[in-house]
A and B are shown apart, each in its own frame.
Chain A
């Protein structure tokens, strides 16, 4: 299991952002759905070792992130795209990705090739030497994805990765996710249920800090039979599960 979390909770004062989550994941693309404030980002930040849980156990890549040495090993194999990606405007695309490759402690000799591949995979080869300040929002998002995958991570955490991407880029990105999911655990937190339907082999729906549904996209679609609201079957399933959780 690349991800093994048991009864994990995280509170911010009186607000329980994550209120007891159990999740065991192997390789594959895992979609994390939920409305605003459901606890998706907090859960992802805990999985990214940014945020320690208030209680519960988290094991990542068969290691306990509470131990510094293990945490360091996890981070070497981790890719993370935060919801609000900051960037350094004076850096070029290649320099930015290279900078994070170095911070991920990749071997120096492997960095140039890995950076070039990551930039190509997000279709930014033509903009490799462009300063980040000159890029559009969608391109910056792709730079963020490039830095997340540059170390060929075993655990890839993507928070709203397709926000700002144009339809063509989203299609390409879903294809990339499927490839990455063959050898790694990819967790995608998103509001866009069509991304989940197209790229994820499994999906969970969070509400009020808890996972209220877990299954395949097809199973989620089936939940919507005649009950939910939405333009697509998956959206109707999503809506139906949420309605049930609220009630």
Chain B
């Protein structure tokens, strides 16, 4: 016999019973396995950047938890119908609302606890690897709101449609709007066009750019409307729950004050969701690649985050990266140093390299050489003519698009980026500019001299890359690379201006 030394209030004791005898714990091992194999492993494949890692919370965790949460909540909600206790509980003085609320809270406690435990594991893992920043809270809030609303939806379905098949049907059913939201989000990211309201209200999206939240804060505008929208639905459904017994059995309605409170809850929930929907409709792209909602936007979040870059030392060619990307500083330096050494001392040759934001003033920023002394600027998202060459992203995001992760390609992306900028000329930040045949041959030769294997030049040369031209470029590159370093350097010193101007032919290369 359980004897309580200090009696809990009735509601607390009823909640404790519901928590103690809830079905969720039985499913936790399965949920943990799904979390490990999907969410955690996906996050592990991303670079240890907080915002990027946190994106798996809505994009993976929420989907997994929603299916379980919806089904388990429906199971809990259908209990009185399935177990045929409706007649008995209808004779109880305690309002049906309070009774169902305790059962709902019991399931929700477990699900939120499991969700937060998953977030904790994810964030501890990220904290051990990240070199800058801290855990973002908005994805957690949006995810928790998502779990809550799905739980309330599932529970309400269980109350109104009690049966053995309600739980599995709800578990499957809740995935539909989530997938619709995901598809909408994909379209939005591709086209940034109208019709984005639902995509913005759904927390599920494609992974954000790798530098999201690094150079600029992620404005909380969109998460705010997402949380408002979902909490509004949850509150409205909770109000509907209190009306359920009144609709089902007149005698068990909780009286006029309770019905008034229920109607008020429904009205407030609908108002909150409608407001969120309306606000999402006013969203527009901001200057740094995100979304802003004018009514909620704070200008402070548009300001760059002040940081001190991490730089290499002890080398003539200094490489600096944002501290969030310190984990690959040595790799970038190792990639750029040999190429920088090949062109050191030549006019316009960069004295160092630094990482910059890939968007500024609503425009993409591409790699280029600028300043005095010249510095090679590169963005994590746009290095050379390739995009987003991060190992982590390569191994997860881009496999689907056909780009195979390749450490050599990643390294050459940086090298090509530097050489493209150098050969085309200083202050070139306008994105992809095709090289002519001689420029391509020189670039390939310098890559060979730096120990890299030039990639197919087609992407570099654009429409100029006829097969016979490619073969001639390769031959000229091998010829030029075979020269002693001093000879290459001397020739470049003498002919660099002409080479940049496009006045050198392949035949003129030594």
Contact = CB atoms under 8 A, between A and B. Distances in A.
A103 B89 contact: yes
B120 interface: no
A100 to B, nearest CB: 7
A51 to B, nearest CB: 6
From B10, B20, B93, B256, name the one whose CB has the most chain A CB atoms within 10 angstroms. B93
A160 to B, nearest CB: 13
B295 interface: no
A71 B256 CA distance: 13
Contacts of B13: 98, 102, 108, 111
The prevalent SS among residues of B at the interface is loop
A90 B17 CA distance: 11
Interface in A78-92: 78, 80, 82, 84-91
Given A82-B87, A95-B21, A105 B252 contact: no
Contacts of B14: 99, 102-103
Contacts of A109: 7
Contact of B1 (A86, A104, A116): A116
B92 to A, nearest CB: 4
Contacts of B21: 88, 90-91, 95
Contacts of A80: 88, 91
B284 interface: no
B484 interface: no
Contacts of B91: 48-50, 75, 78, 80
Contacts of A71: 251
Contact of A95 (B9, B17, B23): B17
A52 B7 contact: no
Contacts of A240: none
Interface residues of A, number: 45
A50 B90 contact: yes
B365 to A, nearest CB: 59
Interface residues of B, number: 37
A100 B85 CA distance: 11
Most buried by A among B1, B23, B255: B1
B87 A68 contact: no
B6 to A, nearest CB: 10
A105 B93 contact: yes
B431 interface: no
B488 interface: no
Contacts of A112: 1-4, 7
A241 to B, nearest CB: 29
Nearest to B98: A103
B94 interface: yes
A76 interface: yes
Contact of A98 (B17, B84, B256): B17
Interface of B: 1-4, 7-10, 13-14, 17, 20-21, 23, 79-80, 83-94, 99, 249-256
8 contacts: A48-B90, A68-B254, A68-B255, A71-B251, A86-B80, A95-B2, A103-B94, A105-B94
Given A50-B252, A72-B255, A104-B94, 8 more contacts: A86-B86, A95-B17, A99-B17, A100-B88, A100-B92, A112-B3, A115-B1, A119-B1
Task: List the 3 closest pairs (A to B, CB-CB), nearest first.
Answer: A68-B255, A86-B84, A86-B85
